[in-house]
Amino acid sequence: MNRFPLAALAVTLCFSLALSACATRVERIEVDETRDLSGEWNDTDSRLVSEEMVRDALARPWLDNFINETGNLPAVIVGQVRNLSHEHINVATFVGDIERELLNSGGVQFVASKVERDQIREERQDQELNASAETVKRMGEELGADFMLQGAINTILDTEGKEQVRFYQVDLSLISLADNRKVWAGQKKIKKFVKKNSIRW
């Protein structure tokens, strides 16, 4: 007699559970909260590496030397930071993090990158035709960079079955545009152990 209601209850419960598992759930989290899902390079890695490298760059003697010699803050331009790793890393966000950290430190000034410059020059050209004489920004008065920031992100993987050790090495250097001298070389390493599921339902 009681078999049918019990079975119906069990089926209903299973359906409810299945449906709740399928529903999309969104939870807002702090931008500096660490959540590693895949084990790949993520926002936390980008932030931690950029913070540490900038701290290192600002603590080295090249900065004081330059200010003492010229009386100005060094102007830096971001060159190529190559992704030589095993992952598709968004280098632009990493470079953005570095740029922001350096700029906000007040120790250096940045000049626009090659891509940004083209757009600004186009605008300046437009101003020469259309802006008033008092507000027009003239061509040929740009601030030339003193140093170029270049670097690369490399990885070494060691995999055995479903287990993997991921080793990331980020190398950045500042090169003097006047004489090609490397005035600073920074390096940051990250090592992660990733274990994937070998069984699923």
Partner 1 sequence: MSCTGPKPLAALVVAGMVLSQAACVTGIGYQRADLDHFLSNNLTAEALEVVELRRGSSRNEAINLLDKAMLLRMQQQFEASNDAFEQAKDVIDELDAISIGEQAAAVTINDAMRKYLPRTFERALVHCFKALNYLQLRQYDSARVEVLQLDELFKQEEDFRLPFARYLSGLVFEFNQEPDNALIAYRKAYEAYSERGSAIPGILQQDLLRLTDYLGRAEEHSLYDEEFALVSWPTQQVFRQQAHAVAILFNGLIPRLHSHEILAQSPGDGRMHRISTPFYERRYTRVYSVMLASDRAANDSELFADLEQHARAALDDEMPGIIARTVARVAVKDRVVDETAEEQPLIGFALNVLAVLSEQADTRAWYTLPQEILVTRLELEPGLHDLQLLLDGSLRADANHSWQQIELEPGETVVFGLHWPESYSTIGRR
Selected from 3, 25, 28, 138, the binder of partner 1 by CB under 8 A is 3
- The minimum distance between CB 163 and partner 1, in angstroms, equals 12
Distance between CA atoms of residues 36 and 191, nearest Å: 13
Q: Is the dihedral of CA 58, 59, 62, 67 positive or negative?
A: positive
How many residues make contact with partner 1 (CB under 8 A)?
Answer: 18
Distance between CA atoms of residues 154 and 83, nearest Å: 7
Near partner 1 in 161-180, by CB under 8 A: 162
Does residue 197 interact with partner 1 by CB under 8 A?
yes
Distance between CA atoms of residues 86 and 169, nearest Å: 12
Q: Please enumerate in sequence order all residues whose Cβ is within 8 A of that of 135, keeping only pairs 6 or more positions apart, or say none.
A: 127
- The minimum distance between CB 78 and partner 1, in angstroms, equals 16
Near partner 1 in 68-87, by CB under 8 A: 82-87
10 Å Cβ neighbour count for 194?
15
Does residue 24 interact with partner 1 by CB under 8 A?
no
Does residue 46 interact with partner 1 by CB under 8 A?
no
Does residue 9 interact with partner 1 by CB under 8 A?
no
Angle between helices 43-59 and 91-105 (to 10 degrees): 40
- H or E segment at 116? helix 114-130
- The minimum distance between CB 87 and partner 1, in angstroms, equals 6
**Which residue, 57 or 98, is less far from partner 1 as judged by CB?**
98
Does residue 88 interact with partner 1 by CB under 8 A?
yes
**Which residue, 125 or 159, is less far from partner 1 as judged by CB?**
159
Does residue 11 interact with partner 1 by CB under 8 A?
no
**Which residue, 72 or 159, is less far from partner 1 as judged by CB?**
159
Is residue 172 within 8 A of residue 150, CB to CB? The reply is yes
Distance between CA atoms of residues 78 and 59, nearest Å: 19
- DSSP summary character for residue 145: P
Distance between CA atoms of residues 35 and 89, nearest Å: 17
Does residue 200 interact with partner 1 by CB under 8 A?
yes
- The minimum distance between CB 139 and partner 1, in angstroms, equals 29
The site for partner 1 (CB under 8 A) is made up of 3, 82-88, 155, 157, 159, 162, 196-201
